[in-house]
Amino acid sequence: MSEEVKVEQAEVTQEESMANVTFLKKGDIVKGKVIKVDSDQAIVDVGYKYDGVIPLRELSSVQIEDAAEGIGAGQEVELKVLTIDDHKEKLVLSKRAIDSEKAWDKLNADMENKTVLEAKVAEVVKGGLVVDVGLRGFVPASMVERTFVEDFSDYKGRTLRLRVKEMDKEKNKVVLSQKDVLDEEFDVKKKETLSKISVGQTLDGTVQRLTQFGAFIDIGGVDGLVHISEMAWHHVETPSEVVKEGDKVKVQVLKVDPENERISLSIRATQPGPWQSISSIKTGDIVTGTVKRLVNFGAFVEVAPGVEGLVHISQISHKHVATPQEVLKEGQQVQVKVLDMNPDEKRISLSIKETEEAPAREPREPRPERERAPRKQESISHEEGFKTTLGDKFGDMLSKFK
């Protein structure tokens, strides 16, 4: 083959090659295949005369430490041309730009349809969490869970179920909430549970939180209240004396109000009553008790957990007592004698003075004798005086009738 023919064939081959080369410019959208992934970039074949580069910052809308977190070798991707320089054979591409454009349209539709999304937590930042939803999404701390979370340090890498709350494309702002999803699920489960429970049922529950007036118990997707008066048979000052958050407890349903979504529960109703545990106490026994309450007519003394008996004011002391407060105080330990028991009516009559020896009576002082003349002598003298006086007075008159 002549040199001229070889030159002509080379020129034809070059012309065909140039005809197949895609001409690119800044802003073009191209498709390519990842051929290599380094720690700080990915190399992509987009069918151009040289390969393109996706820098680490252009791989994802959220911060990543390694390119492999955002892309993989062999992956087919759609990219946007950021810069191109044929002289330096430099082609810089962005995956993030394409993902973001697509994400805005998708998220807008998701917000309108109230779609539940799944997204992985990319960062834990002040005030909340950053998630990757095709662009940088933010979940405020108050919208992560239904309850307050103090520390989010272990949330990185978790997958959350989210709903789009707010979008502003100009400010590149997307706010999402997992709490909305959880609240909705809770409401559905709550209505389902309310429809199934009835008064008198005994259920297993978990202590959710404590308040001054009682404890809220989760009984399967719905919280019910155990009032402090229903926590135990004995007197309870604070709920923490009986339970703590996270405890598993048995409760009995006292009242259900589906309209207001309220449930009243009792822990003590699932436990043996205190009056069932005092079979060892009999009438006539002397036991130790604690003064619980003082009233005008006596004192209530606890002789067993949750079992109180009355010491009437007349049974407090052998001495006269005007008010129980004179000799007793609440919390005082005392010995009492059981005078009478009526478990059916839950009544016990007690006595403190019957446990004490009665004081000896003081001897009476003799009364002074009165000085007086003998009664008989006085009568005789009086009679004699009376006779003398009649004889003297009527003697002459009587003599005329003789």
18 within domain boundaries? no
Q: Within the chain, how many helices (H) and strands (E) appear? A: 4, 20
DSSP string, 22-51: PP--TT-EEEEEEEEE-SSEEEEE-SSSS-
361 within domain boundaries? no
Mean pLDDT of 94-111: 89
**Same-domain pairing of 145 and 123:** yes
pLDDT of 385 above 80: no
**Same-domain pairing of 306 and 342:** yes
**Same-domain pairing of 169 and 232:** no
**Same-domain pairing of 243 and 290:** no
What is the rounded CA–CA span in Å between residue 265 and residue 214? 10
| Entry pTM | 0.52
Give the total residue count for the chain. 402
Mean pLDDT of 73-89: 91
Q: Could you tell me the residue range of the domain that residue 231 belongs to? A: 198-270
- Whether 71 and 59 have beta carbons less than 8 Å apart is answered as yes
pLDDT of 383 above 70: no
pLDDT of 363 above 60: yes
368 within domain boundaries? no
pLDDT of 60 above 90: no
| The 3-state secondary structure of 111-177, one letter per residue | HHHCCCEEEEEEEEECCEEEEECCCEEEEEHHHCCCCCCCCCCCCCCCEEEEEEEEEECCCCEEEEE
User: Which residues does residue 44 pair with via DSSP β-bridges, in sequence order?
Assistant: 34, 52
* Predicted confidence (pLDDT) per residue in 285-342, tens digit: 999 999 999 999 999 999 887 789 999 999 999 999 999 999 999 999 999 999 998 8
107 within domain boundaries? no
Q: Which residue do the tokens 């394409």 mark?
A: 98
Q: What's residue 6's pLDDT? A: 47
Q: How many domains does the chain have?
A: 4
What is the rounded CA–CA span in Å between residue 315 and residue 335? 12
**Same-domain pairing of 52 and 93:** yes
pLDDT of 395 above 70: no
Mean of all residue pLDDT scores within the chain: 84
Structure confidence at residue 63 as a pLDDT band (50, 70, 90): confident
pLDDT of 151 above 50: yes
161 within domain boundaries? yes
Q: What's residue 394's pLDDT? A: 52
297 within domain boundaries? yes
Mean pLDDT of 218-225: 89
Phi, psi torsion values for 105, nearest 5 degrees: -65, -45
Mean pLDDT of 198-227: 94
**Greater model confidence, 399 or 32:** 32
- Whether 251 and 218 have beta carbons less than 8 Å apart is answered as no
CATH number at residue 143: 2.40.50.140
**Same-domain pairing of 128 and 157:** yes
> Tokens standing for 38?
């380094």
371 within domain boundaries? no
Mean pLDDT of 375-385: 46
3-state secondary structure of 329: coil
Mean pLDDT of 156-168: 94
**Same-domain pairing of 131 and 75:** no
Pick from 29-43, 82-96, 202-216, 280-294 the range whose average pLDDT is largest: 202-216
Give me the percent of the chain exceeding a pLDDT of 70: 84
**Greater model confidence, 382 or 56:** 56
8 within domain boundaries? no
